[in-house]
Structure 1
Amino acid sequence: MSSTEQQIKYSEVSPFEIDNGRRSRMEPVKKSRIYLAAVCANLSSFAIGTCLGWTSPIMPKLQQATSDSPLSEKITQEEEAWISSLIAIGALVTPFVAGPLADMVGRKWTMISSSVFFVLAYVLMMIGGNVGMIYAARLIQGFGVGFIMTVQPMYVGEIATDDSRGALGSFMQLFIVAGILYAYAIGPYVSYMALQWCCLVIPIIFAVCFFFLPESPYYFAGKGQKSNAVRALQFLRGQSAEGVQDEMTLIQTTVDESIANKGSVADVVKNKGNRKALLICAGLISFQQLSGINVVLFNSQTIFIKANTGLDPAIATIIVGCVQVGSSGLTPLIADRLGRKIILLVSAGVMCISLAALGAFFYVQINGDPSGILWLPVPALIVFNIVYCVGFGPLPWAVLGEMFPANVKSTASSIVASTCWIFGFIITRWYPALDALGSYYAFWLFGIFCGVAFFFVLFIVMETKGMSLQQIQDKLNGK
């Protein structure tokens, strides 16, 4: 057996190994430790969900200037568009700060610092009595979102074993939609002020829980703190110092190579493998936003009010939120079994059909008699959310966490995260104007984008199921 063949991670080998001609029992990896760290890290994703779901129950109150509104006048269509979209502006700027900060102070402390943005935003919403304060709060929320969505995939990707990376990478979407459901379920039934308190406690809980978990061993290795890296790896794998030595050696080798070949933005573009990885990740993230998901998340209650299906819009929205959580829970179970590509193909194809059906309903509503199809909007949005939450919601972020080598990972993650929110801003900012022409225009346009996404996945995206990070780099570079 060659030395290369002997350098295999614990998760990929049999219970025995050959060591200097002697057979010794290997220590098993305690994956419960890895899942614990990933769950605590993803409490930050739950906080993101509360920010994304916040507009759905709050916007009807602001539009009608009820006694529960913090504003003295109802908001205009222009103000509504800015309240929805400003979170994207904040989120597209901060990745270029969060990425380098993750390399300087660590993934853990960069993520914990995001809690300051979320707490500050909800405080501003409580004390502010004008739309300008809400603008500022939504922008600051975006700063926190940008921090988390840049650094959290890096952290989870680095603590995972090869055979758990797909499942752990999909946790982000699961926790985001859980946070959205939290806002959907509470918002319509409590006061404006009470909802802010309910949302404010989430980032505080995250910061406290995550404080007690280890930093990424890759970060420690990069800083020359090998003893800290070994201790972090011991906790995450549930093994002794001797038991993690082989994996620690591989991590140190990978990190040393990345430091020796420290990458820049130019390296992301010049290198063939990095260029292909950027095309895949930026493409998947772009189509994720062009599916119109943020329009659906931010305006679910308003969409159901317009549809006038006879079902209480708040109840319909909660049903959609429950479906999102349930379907997102499927991805960790199937991502490492079926593979990323087939799930993305099914997701894009079914989203296209669902959006076409939703657009057809609104077309008939405006130009004919929709009484025979009043049942259509709820199942169309439910099916859309199911396939989105299983595929195009979580998997682009999971792919991002495994696609780039360590020397350019933070830079590439910043570029991809910003790309996500550039398209997120464009869609949410100008959706009200497109909706004014007829809701069917917007949903049919989103459906066309999903159709294009299907062919992008079919011809451009490569499968990474069960591959190590090094094997993925070899495939990207044509080795």
Structure 2
Amino acid sequence: MGIEHDMENGDSRLSLEELRVPLTGHSKDESTGEEEAASGKRSKECRWMLYLSTFVAVCGSFEFGACMGYSSPTQSAIRKELNLSLAEYSLFGSILTFGAMIGAIMSGLIADLIGRKGAMRISAIFCIAGWLPIYFAKGALSLDIGRMSLGYGMGIFSYVVPVFIAEIAPKDLRGGLTSVNMVMVCCGISIYFIIGTVLTWRTLALVGLVPCLILLLGLFFIPESPRWLAKMGHQKDFVAALQQLRGKDVDISEEAADIVDYVETIRKLPKPKMVDLFQRRYLRSLIIAVGLMLFQQLGGITGVSFYVSEVFVTAGFPAAVGTVSYACLQIIITILCAILMDKAGRRFLLLVSAAGLVIGCILVGTSFYLKVQESAPTVAPLLAVIGMMVYIGSFSAGMGVTPWVIMSEIFPINVKGTAGSLATLMNWIGAWAVSYSFNFLMSWSSYGTFSIFAAVNVIAILFVAKLVPETKGRTLEQIQAAINTA
């Protein structure tokens, strides 16, 4: 079986059997036993481009986290200097997620049309265009315009970064490398929580330009996603990119043939529309992705992250100490999750994480209840701190990282852009709902708010146990074939 490919010198036909011959100029029969023994070592030594590409991409993830973390340590200072009401600041905090919804809707189309690198480039430009109005802001309008632009960039980053990493990574490293996306999101949030206690809110906005500039520069030095290139028919660039990512001495023929074979099968299918996602062949993947994205947000994380300082103040605990502790724990647990992703498995981490979130919400809710009842005044702040640490540790252990990893794995490439946009959009709808309502919910009932979050996380446990499959140790093509034919 052959497929046609666009080449610089015209169309050519390359068979799958030809792809399976090593591209280093030697046949398998000519390979020596000594070369085979050294292949594993060469493979590891030649992965520097894979790691560099991942680093450049996750600068976008760090920027994502910086945008998320900005509103918490700056709330008091911005409200005081610009004389903003609680409603005005809530709009400023939550409009980020509204911009992200727009970015999410367009993210799949942009990434499919101009490539994963092109989408990351556009996202970085919008983030730069967002920080500057915030830095020069004299009132609420400038803040909101900048925050909206940041949100649009975040919406694209939230889809394209994990997809890009999943498409460039070999199967034995895919879970760990893809989860680095969320590690860097957490690092961005946490570092902003920490440095936000010592920098002014305007200076903190300028710091947000740094990861964007690093990403824009780094994109000149890394290859495009080989799977996207194969999908677009750019065979010469596809082989070159895959070889560059795996190393010049590594035999990529089998992997290249599998990708080409899969892409050719997908190409024969009609171009999907949004409504086509609800066909039976894609429905299970869609339910899993959308469900995980909604549970990730409706469990309360965006509200807690945006206003964590105020949560500690409400609980009667020093905000600076609580915020720094929260930030440090978030980084440590997320890194541990990334290490365990390809060992413990996605499903196990999700179940443990959701169970921990329930416990954390109950502890924080109990703390607020005791404070309202004016009983156990010394115990209530301690329970709040323990509960918040359990909450963020549990979220970082699974629900923060794993939904994005699974979303990048379960959709076939012909619907990945459309389906990924929808899943990401639902994530941001949930984030907006929680971030906008959080302050008002806390004013209504602080312990009632965390009781609602606890109930949502109980439902999430049942959802994961019933519907979410294990995907570790399988190629993207194997995962998608298994899910979408089940």
TM-score, normalising length from structure 2? 0.90
Q: Distance in 1 between matches of 2:29 and 2:200?
A: 68
- For 1:266 and 1:22, the matched residues in 2 are separated by 50
Picking from 209, 214, 226, the partner of 2:235 is 226
What is aligned with 1:399?
406
2:304 to 275, 293, 296: 296
For residues 396-424 of structure 1, what are the alpha-carbon distances to aligned partners after superposition, in whole Å with 9 as ceiling and x for unaligned? 00001110111101111000000000111
> Which one of the candidate residues 20, 34, 53 is aligned to 1:37?
53
Deviation at 1:22, TM superposition (A): 7.8
1:473 aligns with 2:480: yes
CA distance in 1, matches of 2:344, 2:189: 27
Q: Does 1:188 align with 2:197?
A: yes
Moved more, 334-343 or 231-240: 231-240
Secondary structure, counterpart of 1:129 in structure 2? coil
Q: Does 1:250 align with 2:250?
A: no
Aligned to 2:364: 358
Contact residue 169 and residue 395 of structure 1 kept, 8 A: no
Which residue matches 2:335? 329
Matched, 1:136 2:145: yes
Distance (Å, rounded) in 2 between the aligned partners of 1:210 and 1:455 = 41
Query: Aligned partners of 1:362, 1:277: CA distance in 2, in Å?
Result: 39
**AA of the residue aligned to 2:69:** G
Spell out structure 1 runs of 4+ moving beyond 4 A.
Answer: 18-26
Unaligned stretches of 5+ residues in structure 1: 1-5, 11-17
Partner of 2:419: 412
- Deviation (angstroms), 1:184: 1.0
Code of the residue aligned with 1:257 in structure 2: it is: T
Taking the aligned partners of 2:458 and 2:401, their CA distance within structure 1 comes to 19
8 A Cα contact 1:60 1:302, kept in partner: no
The aligned runs of 1:17-28 (5 Å cut-off) are 19=28, 25-26=35-36, 27-28=39-40
Aligned partner of 1:76 among 66, 82, 85: 85
| Counterpart position of 1:51 | 67
Q: How far did residue 313 of structure 1 move? A: 0.9
Shift of 1:271: 3.4
Structure 2 counterparts to residues 106-121 of structure 1, below 5 A: 106-121=115-130
Aligned residues of 1:263 and 1:408 also touching (Cα < 8 A): yes
Change (3 A) 1:443 1:213: same
Aligned to 1:3: none
1:180 to partner: Cα distance: 0.9
Asked if the contact 1:254/1:406 (under 8 Å) is kept, the reply is no
Q: How many Å apart are 1:284 and its aligned residue?
A: 0.7
Deviations 1:437-459 (A, max 9, x none): 12111111011101110111111
Which residue number corresponds to residue 375 of structure 2? 369
Rounded Cα–Cα distance in structure 2 between residues aligned with 1:372 and 1:221: 62
Is the CA contact (8 Å cut-off) linking 2:362 and 2:387 kept in structure 1?
Answer: no
- Structure-1 separation of matches of 2:113 and 2:378: 60
Q: Residue 367 of structure 2 aligns to which amino acid in structure 1?
A: F
Task: Answer whether contact 2:366 2:383 (CA < 8 A) is retained.
Answer: no
Partner letter of residue 454 of structure 2? G
Which amino acid in 2 is paired with 1:127?
Answer: F
Counterpart of 1:260 in structure 2 is: 268
User: CA separation in 2, counterparts of 1:221 and 1:237?
Assistant: 16
Q: Give the corresponding residue for 1:284.
A: 292
Contact 1:53–1:297 at 8 Å: present in 2 too?
Answer: yes
Classify the secondary structure of the residue corresponding to 2:219.
helix
Q: Does 1:342 align with 2:340?
A: no
DSSP 3-state at the match of 1:462:
coil
Q: Does 1:162 align with 2:171?
A: yes
Q: Aligned partner of 1:179: which letter? A: G
Q: What secondary structure is seen at the aligned counterpart in 2 of 1:105?
A: helix
Percent identical among aligned pairs is 29
Question: Aligned match of 2:154 in 139, 142, 145?
Answer: 145
Q: Structure 1 length as normaliser, TM-score? A: 0.91
2:97 to 83, 88, 99: 88
Task: Report the residue type matching 2:64 in the other structure.
Answer: I
Kept after mapping to 1: 8 A contact 2:67/2:150: yes
Following TM superposition, by how much is the alpha carbon of 1:19 offset from its aligned partner in structure 2, in angstroms?
4.4
Structure 2 Cα separation of the partners of residues 388 and 41 of structure 1: 23
* SS of equivalent to 1:170: helix
Whether 1:308 and 2:324 are equivalent positions in the alignment is: no
Q: Which runs of 5+ in 2 are unaligned?
A: 1-15, 21-26
